């Protein structure tokens, strides 16, 4: 599929998701006016009706969605009732924080997982240990691992902070270590198992025997010939795991109180800030689809047959 067609597909999917998200959030019980009435008992029924009319909450749900979509297309993302700030001012810093977390987690999972997979393929006697570690990592719940890491490194040893983010001007690496380890360890399992299987298939190819016959060393055979070909299915795995990584970031950021998209979505939904929750969910969905597209493009760059 051409790049332009994929981009159109992403836009259509984002529009459909925005409709589904808006309808689901709109059908949830309660609205900001109900919360205002609970916070201030002096508000009368007439006050509530006037506020609903002011914010368009007295209109049918479909009409409210069309008005919201038209405002978004004009670049007007509205305000967050919960944080009393423009939504755009909240989304971009949170998205950047999440992308940093995802980037380090993907790097950790890919490097460690592929390294273990290559080791298992080159040294078959170590394959059971690698497979066992991969199964353990895959079966371990992310939230449980995060809690255990907090207890060990933050509570008992006191080496790392339990959560949050660094203040301005300070390094963020100490606050990143535990969330990155929590998110990356579970994803490492899939890369290790798939890398081992892909490397074993690549090492059994006839052209690998030809490379060895020409006098290539085992390192040259493994990293110069077999690994580039084994990387193609790993890129497919990365594209398929994009959604799992983002959903895992939601849990991890909430657990470690890291100011990213995950915590922002959690706070917005718990605080009935529908506009912020809707736009944050939509941004996460678009980032997931763009990550899958990037993995497909990288796969085509490595494998000329796909072009």
Instruction: Give domain limits for the chain.
Output: 3-81, 88-306
Rounded CA-CA distance 59/38 in Å is 22
Alpha helices in the chain (DSSP H): 3-26, 32-39, 45-54, 61-73, 87-122, 127-139, 142-149, 173-203, 206-213, 218-219, 227-240, 242-255, 261-270, 274-302
pLDDT at 278: 87
Assign domain 88-306 to its CATH superfamily. MetI-like (1.10.3720.10)
Average pLDDT, integer, range 60-77? 83
Question: Highest mean pLDDT range out of 32-41, 87-96, 209-218?
Answer: 87-96
- Which value, in Å, is the radius of gyration of the alpha carbons in the chain? 24
Rounded CA-CA distance 245/233 in Å is 18
CB contact at 8 A, 117 and 190? no
CB-based burial, 81-100: b 16+ in 10 Å, e otherwise:
bbbeeebeebbeebbebbee
**pLDDT of 87 strictly over 80:** yes
Mind listing the pLDDT tens digit for each residue in 153-211?
888 888 888 777 766 655 567 888 888 888 888 788 888 888 888 888 877 777 777 77
> Which among 27, 187, 176 is positioned nearest to 114, based on CA atoms?
187
CB-based burial, 200-213: b 16+ in 10 Å, e otherwise:
bebbeeeebeebee
pLDDT at 166: 66
Rounded CA-CA distance 192/132 in Å is 11
Rounded CA-CA distance 234/206 in Å is 21
Cα four-point dihedral sign 222, 225, 226, 228? positive
Q: Which range has the worst mean pLDDT, 14-23, 65-74, 109-118, 239-248?
A: 239-248
Average pLDDT, integer, range 199-227? 74
- pLDDT, averaged across the chain: 79
Higher pLDDT, 5 or 245: 5
Query: Rounded to 10 degrees, what is the CA torsion of 287, 289, 295, 298?
Result: -90
CB contact at 8 A, 94 and 264? yes
Rounded CA-CA distance 244/291 in Å is 12
What's the distance, CA 64 to chain centroid?
Answer: 29
CB contact at 8 A, 273 and 194? no
pLDDT at 1: 58
What SS3 state is found at 59?
coil
According to DSSP, residue 161 is labeled -
């Amino acid at each position: 599929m051409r790049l332009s067609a994929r981009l159109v597909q992403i836009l259509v999917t984002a529009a459909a998701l925005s409709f589904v998200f808006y309808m689901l959030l709109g059908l949830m019980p309660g609205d900001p006016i109900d919360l205002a009435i609970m916070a201030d008992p002096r508000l009368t029924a007439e006050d509530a009706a006037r506020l609903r009319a002011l914010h368009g909450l007295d209109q049918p749900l479909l009409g409210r969605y069309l008005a919201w979509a038209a405002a978004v297309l004009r670049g007007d993302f509205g305000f967050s009732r919960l944080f009393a700030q423009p939504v755009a001012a909240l989304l971009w810093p949170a998205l950047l924080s999440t992308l940093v977390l995802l980037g380090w987690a993907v790097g950790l999972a890919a490097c460690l997982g592929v390294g273990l997979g290559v080791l298992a393929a080159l040294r078959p006697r170590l394959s059971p240990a690698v497979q066992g570690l991969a199964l353990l990592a895959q079966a371990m719940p992310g939230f449980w691992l995060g809690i255990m890491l907090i207890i060990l490194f933050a509570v008992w040893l006191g080496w790392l902070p339990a959560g949050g983010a660094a203040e301005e001007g300070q390094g963020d690496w100490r606050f990143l270590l535990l969330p990155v380890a929590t998110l990356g360890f579970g994803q490492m399992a899939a890369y290790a198992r798939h890398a081992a299987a892909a490397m074993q298939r690549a090492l059994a190819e006839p052209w690998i025997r030809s490379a060895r016959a020409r006098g290539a060393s085992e390192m040259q055979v493994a990293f110069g010939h077999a690994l580039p070909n084994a990387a193609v299915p790993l890129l497919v795995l990365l594209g398929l795991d994009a959604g799992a990584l983002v959903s895992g970031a939601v849990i991890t950021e909430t657990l470690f109180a890291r100011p990213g998209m995950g915590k922002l979505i959690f706070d917005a939904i718990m605080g009935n800030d529908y506009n912020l929750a809707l736009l944050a969910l939509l941004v996460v969905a678009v980032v997931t689809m763009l990550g899958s597209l990037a993995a497909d493009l990288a796969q085509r760059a490595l494998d000329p047959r796909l072009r």
